[in-house]
Structure 1
Amino acid sequence: MPFDHNDHYHRLLLRQVPRNCGAALDVGCGTGRFARRLAHLGIEVDAIDPSEEAIAEARALSGRTAGDRGLRFQHADVTEVKLPKEHYDFISCLASVHHMSFDTVAAMRDALAPGGVLVILGCYPEKTRIDWAWSLAAVPVNAVARLTVAVKDKLRPVCAATGRERVKAPVRQPAMPLLQIRREAAVLLPGCSIRRLLFWRYLLVFRSTG
């Protein structure tokens, strides 16, 4: 599938990066596509993923780009490592939180520096009529987007450095309904906002008050 739902929302996520951001953490970074975008903004980025294959590919891809010098990839599971307290100005977690217990967000929250921002691009299962309505609305838009990207890919030169066909991210279906996500987030991330997005995603934004 040439159209990537997570990549589609990168610009939206980048708009949440606070001014003068010096240090960022990308949780579940995969092959590092979003982490590299953060690094290109001049941010020191730690990127972690439990897939050793994905991290190896991320390092290989990053090594080809001079602008990625402030980017560090680590083969690690966020549920098993101790994150530094109040260290990061920005933490991102793209389509990964449903692979772990949701209360892991508490560790990410505690790793935010005062004024830091946590963004979660999450997935949820269709459980309610509203969920299914959004899903049905996304189907034709998704088909057009896939076709458009496929045509553009055929018309432009192939880039051998993407690495997107070589490493397959582990797939796990989300189990926690959006209503439950809202309830748990209200306790663990008080004051956060959760916005439903079109392509079977939601955007959670939490700002640390310090």
Structure 2
Amino acid sequence: MPFDHNDHYHDLLLRQLPPGSRTALDVGCGTGRFARRLAALGLEVDAIDPSAEVITAARARSVPTGGARPPRFRQGDVTTAELPAGHYDYISCLASIHHVPFETVTALRAALAPGGTLVILGCHPEHSRLDWAWSLAAVPVNAAARLVVAALERLRSARREPTPAPVAPPAVPLAEIRREAAVLLPGASIRRLLFWRYLLVFRNDG
């Protein structure tokens, strides 16, 4: 289906950019849509994904435009990658943190520059009554959004990029994510979103 839940939240994630940001890291970048949006804003972007297939696709779709440098894509596992300490003004993880142990956020926190921001658009399973209530609320909105996007794309004769990235169902409930984040990312904010997502924002103010 043409409606992409992660793409829907791109603008929300971009609003978390610290003023004057120059460097960014996109974790689990897939075919690079969000990384390219960051690069278009003039940031120097590193983008990492464990899938060789999607990295090849990301490089093929990323060409210099408007004087902006395309992201630097590399295949790699963020849990073992050597990230430069205190380097990035902005680190993003779009629907990727549930593919790795949540404590991986400690390495991402260490890679943040002073004043930098870590943003996680995370996935979580339905576990509580509140989860199921939000899930039920999302179903009609999701269906309507898919129909609208599909109709618009038919009018434009547009085709969406295929996304062959490996996917895995989330397993950690949102309540547990909140508990772990309170320890590993003190001061982080977490808000529940529609479409089975949450937004975690951690600012390196220490």
Normalised by the size of structure 2, how large is the TM-score?
A: 0.97
Kindly state the Cα deviation for residue 42 of structure 1 after the two structures are TM-superposed. Answer: 0.4
SS at match of 2:45: strand
Residue 149 of structure 1 aligns with an amino acid whose one-letter code is V
1:47 pairs with 2:43:
no
Residue 157 of structure 1 is matched in structure 2 by: 157
Kindly state the Cα deviation for residue 180 of structure 1 after the two structures are TM-superposed. Answer: 0.2
* C-alpha RMSD of matched pairs (Å): 1.2
1:125-204 map, 5 Å? 125-158=125-158, 164-165=161-162, 167-204=163-200
Alpha-carbon distance in structure 1 between the residues aligned to 2:147 and 2:108: 37
Kindly state the Cα deviation for residue 65 of structure 1 after the two structures are TM-superposed. Answer: 4.0
Q: How many residues align?
A: 206
Instruction: Map Cα deviations across residues 120-141 of structure 1 (whole Å, 9 max, x no partner).
Output: 0000000100000000000000
Alpha-carbon distance in structure 2 between the residues aligned to 1:180 and 1:65: 42
1:20-31 map, 5 Å? 20-31=20-31
Residue 103 of structure 1 is matched in structure 2 by: 103
SS at match of 2:127: coil
Alpha-carbon distance in structure 1 between the residues aligned to 2:102 and 2:68: 30
Residue 120 of structure 2 is matched in structure 1 by: 120
Instruction: Map Cα deviations across residues 99-157 of structure 1 (whole Å, 9 max, x no partner).
Output: 00000000000000000000000000001000000000000000000000000000013
Residue 90 of structure 1 is matched in structure 2 by: 90
Instruction: Map Cα deviations across residues 48-93 of structure 1 (whole Å, 9 max, x no partner).
Output: 0000000000000003645552521011110111111000000000
1:58 pairs with 2:54:
no
SS at match of 1:186: helix
Does structure 2 conserve the Cα–Cα contact (< 8 Å) formed by 1:36 and 1:68? no
Kindly state the Cα deviation for residue 178 of structure 1 after the two structures are TM-superposed. Answer: 0.3
Which consecutive residues of structure 1, in runs of 5 or more, have no partner in the other structure?
Answer: none
Normalised by the size of structure 1, how large is the TM-score?
A: 0.95
SS at match of 2:133: helix
Alpha-carbon distance in structure 2 between the residues aligned to 1:61 and 1:152: 22
Residue 34 of structure 1 is matched in structure 2 by: 34
Which consecutive residues of structure 2, in runs of 5 or more, have no partner in the other structure?
Answer: none
SS at match of 2:167: coil
SS at match of 1:6: helix
Which aligned segments of 4 or more residues in structure 1 are displaced greater than 2 angstroms? 63-68
SS at match of 1:7: helix
